[in-house]
């Protein structure tokens, strides 16, 4: 049953989940076919397998160990890439034996719907939208068979996070949201409130509300300290230097008093990992480390990607990457001369920087003037000693259609646009549980799809294709 505009507007006004954010409204959720849902389940399994293989690659690179079983392959440069620009203490923490085999509790790939199927542009382990998607699932439940069901987002979030302390029956979970991520505080607060109503001990805190008591971390409850068992970290690692209490997090974690998820391992949050998946020197490693199904799935999903490393080449050598005028490049600066057709490329910072989220560092070559493209290239080259960028082939989203209400309300009408889908997977052991997905439906003229005022944000229903 479709929802009416007044009902949606009233529900969103009563429960504002983002500060000063609005979006287009639709009477129905985004439909996915059973085949697409099965694709999403397989994508989740592949993403988790990729994370496990990436950890092994990084740690073997750090230790100078051979990457292959029966052939010599050393890659010390992998760790150098992934650690570049990171504080020494954070790098040491990422490598700590206590962190071996520890992965994010939540995975969210950003998928674009293209004529060749899904294209994965990013794999986020500190994703926003968890509370929002859970809320929208409840809101749109009357419109069809919600992906994951109405309560899967809330339940599986708690189970994945609480499951990190299996020895505790009802661990105290603190969702710690930094000032940098304050826009997401309302939705994470809503999530905590839903779990509290179920008797779960989940609280929304700012970093300043956390304090040490011995080696424990605590927060104040009516004048009494309450011990925190698990921190769900909702802040990026570059933000640690702005958090005065951050060093207490590390000390308590090392003492075994608190579990922190996502783990504070910056190599797990670099977009550069997607370029390493395509790196020509590492193909044998990925072939050995991933199952054939996951490897083939990731090859189809991840657009061709390259590390934007300006290190000089020896005479006669060429770059493995895009060509200009049919010729291989000897220097990334040569991309400044690329034609508009040859600039079907995305340039973006890899991670550990305030512009690494929310599409703030993204430059789409074909949508830039030559001067803007030159400027983006120059900035990426200047940043390279501390913040590497990656270059990625642009896979254009196809046009789709969905019913939307006019901005001021009225009768919904079918509109054309482009789709980004963000499925949420909650990790339990070796399983990535698909629990919901947030569809962002943008006007067709938008080249970079993200949440914006003229986009619609929708949950997903499972519906068989017509005919």
| Residue 377 maps to a domain | yes
The answer to whether residue 409 is domain-embedded is no
Whole-number Å distance between alpha carbons of 458 and 467: 24
pLDDT value of residue 325: 95
Confidence bin at 359 (pLDDT 50/70/90) = low
Could you tell me which residue, 452 or 378, shows the higher pLDDT? 378
Mean pLDDT of 415-438: 96
Residue 409: what pLDDT?
Answer: 79
Torsion of CA 92, 93, 99, 101, to 10 degrees: -60
Residue 146 structure tokens: 């919600």
Q: How does strand 202-205 pair with strand 211-213? A: unpaired
What residues form DSSP beta bridges with 306?
A: 391
pLDDT tens for 4-38 read 999 998 998 888 887 667 789 999 999 999 999 99
pLDDT surpasses 50 at 467: no
Tell me whether residue 171 is in a domain: no
Helical pair 34-63 and 76-83, crossing angle rounded to 10 deg: 110
Q: How does pLDDT run across 145-191, given as a tens digit for each residue?
A: 999 877 899 999 999 999 999 999 999 999 999 999 999 999 999 99
Residue 339 included in any domain: yes
Lowest mean pLDDT of 14-18, 76-80, 120-124, 262-266, name the range: 14-18
SS (H, E, C) 413-456: EEEEEEEEEEEEEEEECCEEEEEEEEEEEECCCCCCCCCCCCCE
Tell me the pLDDT of the chain averaged across its residues.
93
**Is the model's pTM score more than 0.85?**
yes
Q: Which pLDDT band, with edges at 50, 70 and 90, does 408 fall under? A: confident
Domain assignment present for 152:
no
Q: Which pair of tokens denotes residue 140?
A: 């749109």
Domain count, the chain: 1
Higher per-residue confidence, 61 vs 408 = 61
pLDDT cut 70: percent of the chain above it? 96
**Would you call 393 helix, strand, or coil by DSSP?**
strand
Measured from the Cβ of residue 464, the count of other Cβ atoms closer than 10 Å reads 10
How many C-beta neighbours within 10 Å does residue 462 have? 16
Residue 28 counted as domain residue:
no
pLDDT in tens, 201-256: 999 999 999 999 999 999 999 889 999 999 999 999 999 999 999 999 999 999 99
Q: Is the predicted pLDDT of residue 454 greater than 90, yes or no?
A: no
In a domain, 355, yes or no: yes
In this predicted structure, the answer to whether residue 429 has a pLDDT above a threshold of 70 is yes
Q: Which of 14-23, 64-73, 105-114, 276-285 has the lowest mean pLDDT?
A: 14-23
Task: With respect to residue 384, please indicate whether it lies within any of the assigned structural domains.
Answer: yes
The fraction of the chain above a pLDDT of 90, given in percent, is 85
pLDDT at 53: 98
Give the confidence band of 58 by pLDDT, cuts at 50, 70, 90: very high
Structural domain of 358: 305-393
């Amino acid at each position: 049953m479709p929802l009416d505009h007044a009902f949606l507007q009233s529900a969103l006004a009563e429960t504002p989940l983002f500060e000063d954010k609005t979006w287009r409204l639709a009477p129905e959720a985004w439909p996915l076919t059973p085949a697409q849902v099965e694709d999403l389940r397989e994508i989740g399994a592949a993403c988790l397998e990729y994370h496990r293989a990436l950890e092994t690659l990084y740690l073997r690179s750090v230790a100078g160990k051979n990457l292959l079983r029966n052939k010599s392959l050393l890659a010390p440069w992998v760790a150098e890439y992934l650690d570049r620009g990171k504080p020494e203490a954070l790098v040491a923490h990422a490598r700590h034996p206590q962190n071996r085999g520890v992965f994010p509790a939540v995975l969210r790939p950003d998928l674009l719907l293209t004529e060749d199927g899904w294209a994965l542009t990013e794999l986020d382990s500190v994703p926003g939208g968890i509370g929002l998607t859970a809320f929208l699932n409840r809101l749109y439940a009357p419109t069809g068979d919600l992906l994951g069901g109405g309560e899967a987002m809330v339940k599986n979030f708690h189970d994945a996070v609480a499951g990190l302390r299996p020895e505790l029956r009802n661990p105290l979970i603190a969702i710690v949201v930094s000032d940098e991520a304050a826009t997401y505080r309302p939705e994470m607060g809503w999530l905590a409130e839903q779990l509290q109503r179920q008797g779960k001990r989940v609280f929304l805190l700012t970093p300043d509300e956390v304090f040490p008591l011995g080696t424990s971390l605590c927060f104040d409850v009516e004048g009494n300290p309450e011990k925190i068992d698990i921190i769900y970290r909702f802040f990026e690692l570059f933000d640690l230097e702005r958090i005065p209490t951050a060093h207490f997090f590390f000390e308590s974690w090392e003492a075994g008093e608190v579990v922190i998820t996502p783990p504070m391992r910056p190599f797990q949050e670099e977009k550069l990992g997607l370029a390493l998946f395509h790196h020509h020197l590492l193909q044998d490693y990925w072939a050995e480390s991933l199952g054939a199904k996951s490897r083939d799935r990731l090859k189809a999903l991840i657009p061709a990607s390259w590390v934007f490393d300006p290190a000089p080449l020896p005479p006669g050598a060429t770059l493995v990457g895009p060509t200009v005028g049919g010729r291989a490049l000897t220097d990334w600066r040569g991309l400044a001369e690329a034609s508009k057709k040859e600039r079907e490329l995305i340039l973006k910072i890899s991670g550990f920087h305030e512009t690494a989220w929310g599409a703030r560092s993204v430059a789409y070559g074909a949508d830039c003037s030559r001067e803007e493209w030159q400027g983006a290239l120059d900035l990426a080259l200047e940043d390279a000693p501390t913040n590497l960028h990656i270059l990625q082939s642009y896979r254009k989203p196809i046009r789709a259609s969905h019913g939307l209400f006019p901005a001021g309300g009225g009768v919904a009408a079918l509109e054309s646009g482009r789709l980004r889908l963000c499925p949420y997977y909650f990790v339990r052991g070796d399983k990535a549980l698909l629990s919901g997905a947030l569809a962002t439906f943008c006007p067709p003229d938008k080249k970079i799809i993200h949440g914006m005022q003229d986009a619609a944000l929708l949950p997903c229903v499972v519906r068989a294709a017509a005919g």
